[in-house]
Amino acid sequence: MIIYKGTPMIETKRLNLRKMEMNDANRMFDYIFSDHRVMDNLIKGPHKSTSETINRLTEITSQYESDKFCYWGIGVKECGELIGTIDLYNINEDTENCEVGYDIGFS
């Protein structure tokens, strides 16, 4: 049986995994969602405008109320700068397996 915890803050030695916020839109657009090297393997491809990123973040943040929604922003602990995202999806309750998606921006 899966016990869902949603998107809790997770800390490692170097990183913080945290819920995304709407004020992350510019950073996410500039560093990740508009970069074809990061996004070209996705069906929709890279975002062409910050409004696409704002729409995506609106979708993400509106789902945080669900304990079954697991989507984090990956931030560097030292400076707090977001470098990517990671999420769990296609969760199969029978097998307790899921898929993991992530994207990390180029530096």
Tokens at residue 100, please?
Answer: 């993991």
| Ramachandran quadrant class, 47 (left: phi over 0; alpha: psi -120 to 50; beta: rest) | beta
Q: In this model, does residue 105 exceed pLDDT 80? A: yes
CATH number at residue 60: 3.40.630.30
Q: How confident is the model at residue 101 (pLDDT cuts 50, 70, 90)?
A: very high
Please state, in angstroms and rounded to a whole number, the distance separating the CA atoms of residues 40 and 78: 29
Q: Identify whether 31 is part of a domain.
A: yes
The residue range of the domain holding 19 is 10-104
The pTM for the full model equals: 0.90
Average pLDDT, the chain: 93
Domain-embedded: residue 5: no
Instruction: Judge whether 52 lies within some domain.
Output: yes
Residue 76 lies in a domain: yes
CB neighbours of 23 closer than 8 A, spacing ≥ 6? none
The structural domain count of the chain equals 1
What is the reported pLDDT for 1? 84
25-62 per-position pLDDT tens digit: 999 999 999 999 988 877 788 999 999 999 999 999 99
